[in-house]
Amino acid sequence: MLKEERLKKIMDILKEKKHITTKEISELFSISEITVRRDLRFLESQGLIERKHGGASLKNFFMEIPFFQRLDIKKFEKKLIAQKAVEIIENGQTIAMSGGSTIYYVAKALENSPIYDLTIITNSITTAWAIIGLNKEIKLIHSGGTVKPGSFECIGSHALNFFSNMTFDIYFLGIDGLDFEKGITFSDFEERNIAKTIIKNSKKVVVVADGDKLEKVAPFKVCDISDIDILITKTSKNLERKYKSYKINLINLNGE
In this model, does residue 75 exceed pLDDT 90?
Answer: yes
CA dist 161 and 143 (Å) reads 9
3-state secondary structure of 28: helix
In this model, does residue 78 exceed pLDDT 50?
Answer: yes
Is the domain of 75 the same as that of 163? yes
In this model, does residue 46 exceed pLDDT 80?
Answer: no
In this model, does residue 175 exceed pLDDT 90?
Answer: yes
Is the domain of 98 the same as that of 192? yes
Contact 220, 239 (CB under 8 A): no
In this model, does residue 51 exceed pLDDT 80?
Answer: yes
Mean pLDDT of the 91-106 span: 97
CA dist 170 and 1 (Å) reads 32
CA dist 138 and 140 (Å) reads 6
Is the domain of 87 the same as that of 7? no
Identify the CA nearest to 220 among candidates 126, 155, 125, 166: 155
Mean pLDDT of the 76-84 span: 96
Query: For strand 220-223 and strand 183-186, is the pairing parallel, antiparallel, or unpaired?
Result: antiparallel
Identify the CA nearest to 137 among candidates 91, 84, 198, 168: 91
Is the domain of 223 the same as that of 176? yes
- Confidence class of residue 256 from pLDDT cuts 50, 70 and 90? low
Contact 145, 158 (CB under 8 A): yes
% residues pLDDT > 70 (the chain): 95
Is the domain of 193 the same as that of 242? yes
For residue 36, the model assigns a pLDDT of 92
Q: Phi/psi at 163 (nearest 5 deg)?
A: -75, -20
Is the domain of 114 the same as that of 241? yes
Contact 206, 233 (CB under 8 A): no
For residue 16, the model assigns a pLDDT of 77
199-251 tens-digit pLDDT: 999 999 999 999 889 988 888 899 999 999 999 999 988 888 888 887 789 99
Element (H, E) at 204: strand 202-208
Is the domain of 230 the same as that of 130? yes
For residue 62, the model assigns a pLDDT of 40
Contact 187, 223 (CB under 8 A): no
67-97 per-residue burial string, b: 16 or more CB within 10 A, e: under 16: beebbeebeebbebbbbbbbebbeeebbbbb
The residue range of the domain holding 246 is 67-255
Is the domain of 53 the same as that of 113? no
For residue 70, the model assigns a pLDDT of 80
Is the domain of 47 the same as that of 74? no
Q: What's the chain's average pLDDT?
A: 90
CATH number at residue 23: 1.10.10.10
Is the domain of 218 the same as that of 98? yes
End-of-domain residue from the set 14, 36, 58: 58
Is the domain of 172 the same as that of 88? yes
Q: At what angle are helices 189-200 and 157-164 packed, to 10 degrees?
A: 10
107-159 tens-digit pLDDT: 999 999 999 999 999 999 999 999 999 999 899 999 999 998 888 999 999 99
For residue 247, the model assigns a pLDDT of 79
Query: For strand 139-142 and strand 19-21, is the pairing parallel, antiparallel, or unpaired?
Result: unpaired
Q: DSSP code of 222?
A: E
